[in-house]
Structure 1
Amino acid sequence: MSSKITHVVLYPVPAPGHFIPLLDFAQKLLIRGLTITLLVTPNNLHLLDPLLSLYSPSQFQHLLLPSALPPKDPASGLLGFLVSLHHQHYPFILEWLRTHTSPPISAIISDIFLGWTKQLADEVGLPRLAFSPSGVFGVSILASMWREKPHYDDPNDMRSVVSFEKLPKSPSQPWWQLCHLYREYKKEDPNRISFEESFLSNMSSWGIAFNSFSDLERVYLNHMKEEFGDDRVWAVGPLLPLGDETKSARGGSSSVPSHKLLSWLDKKRDDSVVYVCFGSGAKLTREQMDALAGALEKSGIDFVWSIKHLGEGHASGDYGKLPDDFEDRVGERGFVIKGWAPQVDILSHPAVGTFLTHCGWNSVLEAITVGGVVMLTWPLGADQYSNEQLLVDDLGIGIRVGGGTKKIPESGELARVLSLSVEENRPERAKAKKLREAALNAVKGGSSQKDLDDLVNTLNQL
């Protein structure tokens, strides 16, 4: 056996939706014998505990980066944060790469929101692989958007539709659904220019790996292979925990005892429970919370509702507060979680048949792979509208119920859809169950396992 060590550096964006799938990817690489150094900021250090307990320091180690400081201009939002990350971490990582000699580094694998690491890798003579925690369709829309630079003539007409005619099926989106990183910043904004250059660097990188699988996004995957070449695009998903020791703690510790939640679910009929969650970062307005609570109350269904915990003082603002006495009124029909929910455990329980979701890609993959559930789609931003298009229009496993940070659904109509979604013979359910089989086959000897093995072989030859 060769004694050669293939050592790769992994660098995620320090946000749950990006960090968690890259950790799952790291475990896939570790199992295949690669040595990994993961770059991590102090606030995410605890998320490494499961892997640190499973692998020796000689195979899995971390480099502690400086804490991600807020941007100079608080109004610059996520775009300012990402650009600030670039300026803070670039010199630190560059110095470490230049001085680290043992074991030598073979490649840098970094998040697509960190496209500037292509320049960093070039400086030290290493290949850079872009890692996308998002789907191929969503990334294709983003790349096309930054290249083609669509605009609208009337700033007051947010109904303008943007067509992406160079992509398969020529998809289109209303202007207001385009990623806010593109839409809400002026062309001359330095942060916007910097991020545009960074994102387009992904398309000139050595290769790209997607958290997706062939049967889910085949036509868009083939399109991306035309961009990079067949041997530089890998679909390695769905990236999910490999065992019970990491499954329940994915992304952090549950804010409720898992046994209490699972005991509650055990009392429910198969496919009769609706799980409601809008991810780790999304927030509903008070009016949206009231409408959703009213719909859940009127529907008569059983449900689990995971509500983002905003901490003391925050719930009194525009976000996050349940209507008074809501939990008392719904009684045993509802299980409310305030904080982090064990989402994989919930979706894998046979009682859960529907998922009301913001369409974040991690949630989409979990719903497909561990649950095979119907999805009620309520996207709020980022790539979530593209994901909704894929789920509803391409795959037929989703039903639109919301859309937009300001839209307030009519609670009576939403209650009706909630009730219909748990019916036994929903066509979306049959398609979802079939897609779940395809996802499991992809990672168990199918296309994703083959792509992952090919990627590792390619890295070993560098």
Structure 2
Amino acid sequence: MAAAGDAAPHVLVVPYPARGHMQPLLDLASLLASRGVRLTVVATPATAHLLAAHPASVRPLSFPSSSSDHDASGPAPIGADIHALAAALRAPLGDWLLRSQNNSDGNDDDRVAAVLSDFFCGWTQPLAAAAGVPRLVFAPSGLLATGATHSLFRRAPGTPVGNASYAVAFPDLPGSPAFPWRQISRMYRSYAEGHGGEGADAIRDNFLWNLESAGFVCNTCHPLEGAYLDARPLVDLAGKRVWAVGPVEGSTGNDDEPKDDDVTAWLDAFPDASVAYVSFGTMMVPPPPHAAALAAALDRAGTPFVWAASTATLPDGFEDRAAEAGAGLVIRGWAPQAAALRHRAVGCFVTHCGWNSVLESAAAGVPVLAWPMAADQFFNARIVVEEARVGVAASWAGFGAVPDVEHLARSLTEVVVGEAGAGVRERAKALAAGVAEAASEGGSSRRELDGLVQVLRELAGRRRNRCDHKSFVSVQGH
């Protein structure tokens, strides 16, 4: 009889097929694989190539025809994407999971010890329950945003009903934070206001299913969210165990990220910490008036910049003028964000505060000009600006209002070189040191990861010995 510690855990991984969700989950899979865990990852034709850089023990699982061609990286509403992905994969994945648990060839090594799926894949919870397998929720967002989002669907707070100053409070989270209604996730606002369409119920069910899971694995770390991690168990996550294992991307940077020598060479010409790196992520495109305000502010402040503009519409002539003056570089398409943020010349990150961007700036020690627009970004910006105090707010209005150009220019100057921003810059450096320590072997995040692996090993051992997976709760304390 194999001891629990000798069992090689086999984990079924179900990503949400959008790059910002899937890549961190695959990075976590690689970390687990490096500790002896075997992983089977659900892949689609649109996402299978992302597994190529990961260890051989991270194996793809694809399904034929229409069930494998869904890609959630496009512009469709989240609710519709969740519903479509579940409709495509629920039946074949449920069948595969049941077969893996009830194999007749006597090979217990292929039995799944746990399901690890993205928090937009709540539909995997009943599949795992039917197969007698515990499910762990992977949260690609921070713990504040994860707890607050689940709180919304757990408590179902009401709508403003004409009250322009209405704010939603989160009394069960440390500090009882409150956010104006316009800063609450559009997913919940659409659901609460009754115009979320047929995807609204899918979103609600998704998050309520997550609260039935065995626990949460969160891409965060103690230096960034210590207040929330120290408060565990969180009522807003149904008191479930949370493993804080971040940042999962290459510990403190993605060494496998493709290099862009042109960007590096351009940055090499500038003094240390003098350039602003601008990016609103791959999915968030600032409206033309917002982009124009930022372009004017960069001109007014005289701050050299690299702008990963994707498909953003910039003012006529702005890009050419900046290039001719040698003061700015506009990148269309893929941009080497992690590498650029770690370049010595970059002294400010103008960002929408998507969680991956927050983690990358924290790891690089770069202060932030925070411009949240939607989704979880207002929660993340609160951590950056008000809690860690490694950034300054460009605007809290999101898409609702265009910030004043003079205010943006002053904020840029403050963060990059201003005397008032000296403390922000020093705290950003200190945060980077803390994040590096947390992500190093023996650091807090790696201890959490090792505790998670130990739980998976015990689950695998119990499966080999035909123990009931409902006893998962007895090993959550690791």
Fold shared, TM-score > 0.5 on shorter chain: yes
Q: Give the structure 1 partner of residue 36 of structure 2.
A: 33
User: TM-score of the superposition, structure 1-length normalised?
Assistant: 0.89
- 1:271-326 CA distance string (max 9 Å, x none): 111000000100111111211111112221111100123xxxxxxxxxx2222221
CA distance in 2, matches of 1:295, 1:95: 56
2:210 equivalent to 1:202? yes
> For residues 306 and 269 of structure 1, do their structure 2 counterparts lie closer, same or farther at Cα, with a shift above 3 Å needed?
same
* Worse overlay, 136-145 or 415-424: 415-424
Higher relative contact order, chain-length normalized (CA < 8 Å, sep 6+): 2
Whether the 8 Å contact between 1:50 and 1:246 is mirrored in structure 2 is no
> For residues 424 and 231 of structure 1, do their structure 2 counterparts lie closer, same or farther at Cα, with a shift above 3 Å needed?
same
Whether the 8 Å contact between 2:169 and 2:177 is mirrored in structure 1 is yes
CA distance in 1, matches of 2:338, 2:18: 19
- How much identity, in percent, do the aligned residues show? 36
- 1:214-271 CA distance string (max 9 Å, x none): 222122123342447999321000111259885324xxxxxxx711110111111111
TM-aligned CA deviation for residue 99 of structure 1: 2.5
User: TM-score of the superposition, structure 2-length normalised?
Assistant: 0.86
SS of aligned partner of 2:375: coil
Whether the 8 Å contact between 1:159 and 1:176 is mirrored in structure 2 is no
TM-aligned CA deviation for residue 75 of structure 1: 10
> For residues 245 and 296 of structure 1, do their structure 2 counterparts lie closer, same or farther at Cα, with a shift above 3 Å needed?
closer
CA distance in 2, matches of 1:245, 1:363: 13
Q: Give the structure 2 partner of residue 291 of structure 1.
A: 293
Match of 2:125 among 100, 111, 118: 118
Q: Give the structure 2 partner of residue 391 of structure 1.
A: 384
SS of aligned partner of 1:42: coil
Q: Give the structure 2 partner of residue 61 of structure 1.
A: 59
What letter corresponds to residue 62 of structure 1 in structure 2? P
CA distance in 2, matches of 1:276, 1:225: 37
2:373 equivalent to 1:380? yes
CA distance in 1, matches of 2:170, 2:399: 24
**Which aligned pairs between 1:40-189 and structure 2 lie closer than 5 A?**
40-51=43-54, 55-56=55-56, 59-65=57-63, 66-67=67-68, 69=70, 77-100=77-100, 101=103, 103-155=110-162, 157-185=163-191, 186-187=193-194
CA distance in 1, matches of 2:261, 2:75: 42
What letter corresponds to residue 387 of structure 1 in structure 2? N
Match of 1:427 among 417, 423, 427: 423
Q: Give the structure 2 partner of residue 437 of structure 1.
A: 433
Aligned residue pairs total 436
SS of aligned partner of 2:250: coil
CA distance in 2, matches of 1:165, 1:36: 38
TM-aligned CA deviation for residue 62 of structure 1: 0.2
**Which aligned pairs between 1:302-381 and structure 2 lie closer than 5 A?**
302-309=304-311, 320-330=312-322, 331-369=325-363, 371-381=364-374
SS of aligned partner of 2:399: coil
What letter corresponds to residue 274 of structure 2 in structure 1? S
Whether the 8 Å contact between 1:158 and 1:176 is mirrored in structure 2 is no
Whether the 8 Å contact between 1:36 and 1:60 is mirrored in structure 2 is yes
Extract unaligned runs of 5+ from structure 2. 460-478
Runs of 4+ in 1 over 6 A off after TM superposition: 228-231
CA distance in 2, matches of 1:163, 1:229: 18
Q: Give the structure 2 partner of residue 413 of structure 1.
A: 407
Extract unaligned runs of 5+ from structure 1. 250-256, 310-319
CA distance in 1, matches of 2:318, 2:76: 36
TM-aligned CA deviation for residue 187 of structure 1: 4.4
SS of aligned partner of 1:339: coil
CA distance in 2, matches of 1:236, 1:77: 29
> For residues 75 and 292 of structure 1, do their structure 2 counterparts lie closer, same or farther at Cα, with a shift above 3 Å needed?
closer
What letter corresponds to residue 20 of structure 1 in structure 2? Q
> For residues 119 and 224 of structure 1, do their structure 2 counterparts lie closer, same or farther at Cα, with a shift above 3 Å needed?
farther
Match of 1:212 among 216, 220, 230: 220
SS of aligned partner of 2:216: strand
CA distance in 1, matches of 2:9, 2:212: 23
